[in-house]
Structure 1
Amino acid sequence: MNRRELLAGVASVGVLGGSAAVLWRGLSFGEGADSPSESATDSAENDSDGDTTDSSGPFELETLEAPGSEAETLTVPNDGLTLAMFFSPVCSRCQSLMPNMADAQTRLSDQYGDELTVVSVTGQQSPEQLREWWVDHDGDWTLAYDDGRVLTDRYDVVTHPVLMVIDSTGAVQWESEGVLEADRIVSSVERLLEDDSAADADEDAIPDGNDDAEETDSVPDENEDEHEH
Structure 2
Amino acid sequence: MSVVNRRELVAGLASVGVLGGGAVAWRVRSTVLGNDGSDRSDSDEHNDDDGEGDDEGDDASDGAVTLETIDAPGSDAGAVTIPTDGVSLVVFFSAVCHRCRSLMPNLVEAQAQLADDHGDAVTVVSVASHQTEEQLRDWWAEHDGDWTLAYDGDGTLGREYGVTRHPVLLAIDADGDVRWRDEGELETERIVDRVESVLEEPVETDDD
Measured against the shorter chain, the TM-score band is 0.7 to 0.9
Deviation at 1:156, TM superposition (A): 1.2
Q: 1:182 to 1:26 in 2, by over 3 A?
A: same
Q: 1:93 to 1:115 in 2, by over 3 A?
A: same
Deviation at 1:28, TM superposition (A): 3.7
CA distance in 1: counterparts of 2:87 and 2:60, whole angstroms: 16
Q: 1:71 to 1:113 in 2, by over 3 A?
A: same
CA contact (8 A) 1:54 1:171 kept: no
Corresponding residue SS for 2:175? coil
- 2:141 counterpart of 1:135: yes
CA distance in 1: counterparts of 2:69 and 2:122, whole angstroms: 17
Report what 1:105 is aligned to: 111
Structure 1's consecutive aligned runs of 4 or more residues displaced over 3 angstroms after TM superposition are 25-35
Deviation at 1:134, TM superposition (A): 0.4
Report what 1:122 is aligned to: 128
- Matched residue pairs, number? 166
CA deviations 1:1-26 (Å, max 9, x no partner) are: xxxxxxxxxxxxxxxxxxxx96xx55
- AA partner of residue 118 (structure 1): V
State the superposition RMSD in angstroms. Answer: 2.6
| Percent of aligned positions that are identical | 49
CA contact (8 A) 1:55 1:171 kept: no
CA distance in 1: counterparts of 2:203 and 2:28, whole angstroms: 22
- 2:174 counterpart of 1:192: no
Deviation at 1:95, TM superposition (A): 0.1
2:173 aligned residue (153, 167, 182): 167
CA distance in 2: counterparts of 1:138 and 1:128, whole angstroms: 16
CA deviations 1:103-156 (Å, max 9, x no partner) are: 000000111111111010011101111000101111111100111111011111
CA contact (8 A) 2:129 2:151 kept: yes
- AA partner of residue 131 (structure 1): R
Equivalent residues in 2 for 1:44-55, closer than 5 Å: none
CA distance in 2: counterparts of 1:120 and 1:145, whole angstroms: 9
Equivalent residues in 2 for 1:66-77, closer than 5 Å: 66-77=72-83
Consecutive unaligned residues of structure 1, counting only runs of 5 or more, are 1-20, 40-52, 207-229
Report what 1:36 is aligned to: 40
Compare the two structures and name the one with the higher helix fraction: 1
Q: 1:35 to 1:97 in 2, by over 3 A?
A: closer
Structure with higher RCO (Cα < 8 A, 6+ apart): 2
CA distance in 2: counterparts of 1:55 and 1:117, whole angstroms: 22
Corresponding residue SS for 1:96? helix
- TM-score w.r.t. structure 2 length? 0.72
CA distance in 2: counterparts of 1:36 and 1:99, whole angstroms: 20
Corresponding residue SS for 2:120? helix
- AA partner of residue 115 (structure 1): A
CA distance in 1: counterparts of 2:153 and 2:176, whole angstroms: 20
- TM-score w.r.t. structure 1 length? 0.66
